[in-house]
Chain A
Amino acid sequence: MSKLVLSDLKKTVPMGIAFVMGIFGAFAYFVYTDPTDAILQNAIVFDSVMGSMGMAISLGNISLIHGKNVQRKRKGWFFSVLILVLMYFSLIIGLGAKKPYLGQQYYGLFDWGTESIGYFLVIAIMNPASTTVMSLLAFYIASAAYRAFRIRGIDSAILLVSGALVLLGQAPIGAYIFGPSLLDLKTWILSVPNLAGSRGCSIGIAVGSIAMSIRVLFGYERKPVLGGLE
């Protein structure tokens, strides 16, 4: 009997917490009183402190998975070594870099004088890697357009024509070939039919998200809150 109750509590308590916080969070936006305002502010701070406490999960999870890769000499274990070494190395460098260096600001907790290595990590690795990986998109867009924008019916024709017109209107070469009226056409597409379509979608999303919120808060949809039912 007691076991049954405990296993129930494992589910009902989290569902209850989610329900209470959800309803309170919603109403604190509509109602103003001194206590609710103060509680909402503090509840948000509470959440951010509690959420920040979870950040070391990343460290544990990566150490666990890649550590096992190295230990069992799985395929590509050299790269796991690289990830592990770089992770702990840059953590230490990041913690130790506090003063500004060559115009860059750092957010270290301690003053270990590791700013120059931190500068290298940011300027030579993280910034260019992030921009370059993002810029791969320019190439993927070209190949996606080549494959996807084929006229197979009226739907794909609309997609193609609106895409191509906006595309041409964007680049200087479009106005160069077709004259400035193309620019007006592009602006019209963006500000009229595009606006209507996106507005329709956005209203749908609002309705859908309210429904989803209710399903989660009222416990009809339990998977997100329980993260696995057992």
Chain B
Amino acid sequence: MSSVLIDILVSQRPRAWGLWPGRIGSLVLLFVLGFFVILYLRLARKRKIFIRKLPGLDAVDEAIGRATEMGQPVTFVPGIGAIGSLDTMCGLVFLSEVAKRCAELDTRLIVLNRNVLVQPATAGIVRDAFRAAGKTEKFSEDMVRYIAPDQFAFAAGALGTFKREKPAANLMFGAFWAESLELAEVGNDVGAIQIAGSSSMAQVPFFVAACDYCLIGEELYAGAAYIGRDPILTGSIAGQDWGKVLAAVLIALGVITAWLLPGNKWLSNLLLI
């Protein structure tokens, strides 16, 4: 960053230090949303919190079971996002459960990676799952493949892998871009049961069209908390719900104000302090 830019930033400040004007509402909201999540993480230790079934999550086990019966591999794609993206992290959480099941059932698992830094994380998770099942010798480096950094070089490699390995189950959780439909269509073509999840809303339509089950948007994050069947993590989903209730209440309040007092913007001003 050049010194001129820092000067500009400095010149925009009212004082030497303080809270950014326009961001205070966001900060308060972040605290509120975070409070609900942490509250429910605590509450879940004391009592069981009901979470409705997410369609698709139970199907993950079924899909792996089917692959085991058919003697064909399971493929897993943790998205093509960077390691720091939350979608990729959800993908890693799903992978750890999938790898655990595959290690228990002796099913061949193939993980396809695009990002250099996600590759070691996925390798570590799969290796860990096999070690936990006491089958270290069954893990091979070939299970976790790095294909290419270029988006469509990755897609080309993944499509070829699908056609050659003929997976019976194809699981895709993470951040996807234009290659989503290619992966899903070819996976469907080779007859795999497909379960996908993404918060890239531009790609969800294609997953919905070509996969058997799809986790839409927030369901991916909820699914990541739910898949391990850990009661504490599952409980925190109820904290998320309070965030949505808050959003719904804000929308209702804002719309009612706009109808009753046209031109009055107290609520949006409040949120954008």
Contact = CB atoms under 8 A, between A and B. Distances in A.
Direct A–B contact present (CB less than 8 angstroms): yes
Interface stretch (B62-70, B90-98, B260-268): B90-98
Contacts of A220: 41, 232-233, 236
A224 B89 contact: yes
B156 A223 contact: no
Interface stretch (A26-34, A104-112, A168-176): A26-34
A133 B152 contact: yes
B249 interface: no
Interface stretch (B49-57, B101-109, B121-129): B121-129
A221 B94 CA distance: 12
B131 A230 contact: yes
B185 A207 contact: no
Given A57-B146, A203-B244, A220-B232, A210 B116 contact: no
Nearest to B251: A203
B270 interface: no
B19 interface: yes
Contacts of A38: 6
Given A30-B27, A144-B181, A201-B217, A211 B146 contact: no
A209 B86 contact: yes
B240 A207 contact: yes
Given A144-B206, A212-B221, A224-B121, A130 B152 contact: yes
Interface stretch (A59-67, A113-121, A178-186): A59-67
A216 B199 CA distance: 17
Interface string A197-222: 01001111101111111111010110
Contacts of A149: 209
A228 B208 CA distance: 31
A148 B205 CA distance: 11
B254 interface: no
Interface string A121-148: 0000010011101101100110111011
Contacts of B126: 228
Contact of A137 (B142, B182, B208, B240): B182
A221 B233 contact: yes
Contact of A136 (B151, B182, B209, B225): B182
B255 interface: no
B33 A210 contact: yes
A211 B201 contact: no
A208 B16 contact: no
B244 A204 contact: yes
A32 B18 contact: yes
Interface in A44-100: 51, 54-55, 57-58, 61-62, 64-65, 68, 76
Contact of A210 (B23, B93, B243): B243
Contacts, number: 205
A208 B210 CA distance: 25
B178 interface: yes
Given A130-B153, A140-B182, A30 B146 contact: no
A187 interface: no
A215 B237 CA distance: 11
Given A30-B23, A208-B220, A130 B151 contact: yes
B34 interface: yes
A61 B121 CA distance: 13
Nearest to B189: A143
Given A65-B145, A213-B86, A32 B199 contact: no
Given A58-B146, A212-B90, A140 B181 contact: yes
22 contacts: A37-B6, A41-B1, A54-B120, A58-B149, A130-B152, A140-B210, A141-B206, A143-B185, A144-B185, A159-B208, A198-B201, A201-B201, A207-B247, A208-B218, A208-B221, A211-B236, A212-B86, A212-B89, A212-B90, A216-B86, A228-B96, A228-B121
Given A203-B244, A220-B232, A224-B89, 15 more contacts: A30-B20, A58-B116, A134-B152, A140-B185, A204-B244, A207-B243, A208-B240, A209-B199, A212-B89, A216-B86, A218-B38, A221-B224, A228-B121, A228-B129, A230-B131
Interface of B: 1, 6, 9-10, 13, 16-20, 23-24, 26-27, 30, 33-34, 37-38, 41, 86, 88-90, 92-93, 96, 116-117, 119-121, 124-129, 131-132, 141-142, 145-146, 149-153, 155-156, 159, 164, 178-179, 181-182, 184-186, 188, 199, 201, 206, 208-210, 216-218, 220-222, 224-225, 232-233, 236-237, 239-240, 243-244, 247
